[in-house]
Amino acid sequence: MVNQDYFGLKDKVCVVTGAASGIGLATATLLGEVGSKVILLDINEANGQKAVADLKEKDFKVEFVRCDVTNADDCMSVRDFVEANYGAVDVLFNNAGVIRRKTVVDLEESEWDLVIDVSLKGVYLLSKYLIPLMANGGGGSIINTGSGWGLKGGDQAAAYCAAKAGVVNLTKAMAIDHGPQNIRVNCICPGDTDTPLLRSEAKQLNQQEDAFLVSSAKGRPLERLGTPRDIAKGVLFLASDLSSWITGTDLIVDGGGLA
């Protein structure tokens, strides 16, 4: 049984993007376990509603709001929803992202725009509209999803590497700007994690899925892929009082891959 008071997140209002599957859903679940009030955001309404229904069966305090994080009107609507129903926000996990496994030569401009807009612009937009609520409530914690490939290059993933490198440095800029408002801003940098996003890469690269997952786990000291819950635990740490003097940093959670 989780000691809810240990993390200081009981009854805190937490907003999670990309929450209908993968790392976002695992994080929403873990936040529910420690007693948080969680608003799940995703562009996939069917999967988001199902996720909330499943979590409510566990008596978690959760709601779903459809949100395209690249759309300013959607992000403003989230702000209005949170303000009307909760008054403030304590934790924001900017997690939504997409990947296109192509070089700059092969990328279509629309694919570049999609990856940059979801992974980087989405962080900017939702933060823009929720930070004032967080500040008015006395502060809080923002966690942005970067990547190991935001810290080093990767093959056939030019737009993704650019977007995630942007997220890493945007995190540092936000930490500087909003520290005086008692808002901590950090970045979680996962390695290869068994999510629908990773599995989609196999198809994009015309590889057999199982073989691709095996190859993705090779070469790291812990000799396995990450699970969404592995990453969620890192997010929980950065969201919680356990990291109360940590801001502007990137936490690498990758089984030692970058090492």
Q: What is the pLDDT of residues 175-186, one digit of tens each?
A: 999 999 999 999
- What is the spatial distance between Cα 79 and Cα 132, in angstroms, rounded to a whole number? 9
pLDDT at 223: 85
- Which residues in the chain show pLDDT less than 70? 1-4, 214
Edge to edge, the sheet with strand 91-94 lists 61-66, 37-42, 13-16, 91-94, 140-145, 183-190, 250-253
Look at the chain and report how many structural domains it folds into: 1
Per the domain annotation, does 257 fall within a domain?
no
Alpha helices in the chain (DSSP H): 22-33, 45-56, 72-85, 109-116, 122-136, 158-178, 196-204, 209-217, 228-239
Asked if residue 197 is part of any domain, the answer here is no
Q: Is residue 210 part of a domain?
A: no
What local confidence, expressed as pLDDT, does residue 148 receive? 93
Residue 2's pLDDT is 62
Exposed/middle/buried for residue 113 (C-beta within 10 Å: 0-12, 13-18, 19+): middle
List phi, psi (to 5°) of 59.
65, 25
Domain annotation covers residue 220: no
Domain enclosing residue 82, as ranges: 10-191+227-251
- What phi and psi values does residue 189 have, to the nearest 5 degrees? -120, 90
Q: Per-residue pLDDT tens for 58-80?
A: 999 999 999 999 999 999 999 99
CA distance 69 to 96: 8
CA angle, residues 177, 178, 184, in degrees to nearest 5: 125
> In the prediction, which pLDDT does 14 show?
98
Please, which residues have CB within 8 angstroms of residue 22's CB and are 6 or more apart in sequence? 193, 195, 196, 197, 228
| Domain-located, residue 196 | no
* Closest among 164, 179, 177, 178 to 250, alpha carbons compared: 164
pLDDT of residue 215: 77
Residues that are catalytic:
160
Q: What is the CATH number of the domain that holds 29?
A: 3.40.50.720
Helix axes 22-33, 228-239, angle to 10 degrees: 50
Structure confidence at residue 214 (pLDDT) = 62
Report yes or no on 47 lying in a domain: yes
In contact, 255 and 226? CB cutoff 8 Å:
yes
Report if residue 122 sits inside a domain.
yes
Q: Assess if residue 236 is contained within a domain.
A: yes
Measure the CA–CA gap between 257 and 148, rounded to whole angstroms: 8
pLDDT value, residue 1: 53
